[in-house]
Amino acid sequence: MWEGNEPEDSSQLTYGELLEQVCKCSNVLLRHGVRKGDCVAIYMPMVPEIVVAMLACARIGALHTVVVS
């Protein structure tokens, strides 16, 4: 469950949906040459997709740091 600044800004995600998005994101990272041990900087606002990006990096073994805009 995520809630934004406005009441209508919210979303829900099941574990299955989260896993699907993480797998898609990690496949994109792999196709772009990111490998285990690489460093990835994630520059995003505080949205649910930031967690997907962090978990995708962890899934492939890439180090990551988050910069919230």
Domain map of the chain by residue range?
A: 2-68
Is this structure's pTM higher than 0.95?
A: no
CA distances from 43 to 7, 57, 65 (A): 25, 13, 9
Which two three-digit tokens encode residue 53? 């990006």
Nearest to 50 by CA among 34, 66, 38, 64: 66
Instruction: Spell out the per-residue pLDDT of the chain, length 69, in tens.
Output: 666 777 777 778 899 999 999 999 999 999 999 999 999 999 998 888 999 999 999 999 999 999 987
User: CA-CA distance, 66 to 50, in Å (whole number)?
Assistant: 8
Pick the CATH number of 2-68 from 3.40.50.980, 3.40.120.10, 3.50.50.60, 3.60.15.10: 3.40.50.980
d(CA 38, CA 60): 10
Two structure tokens written together for 15: 């574990």
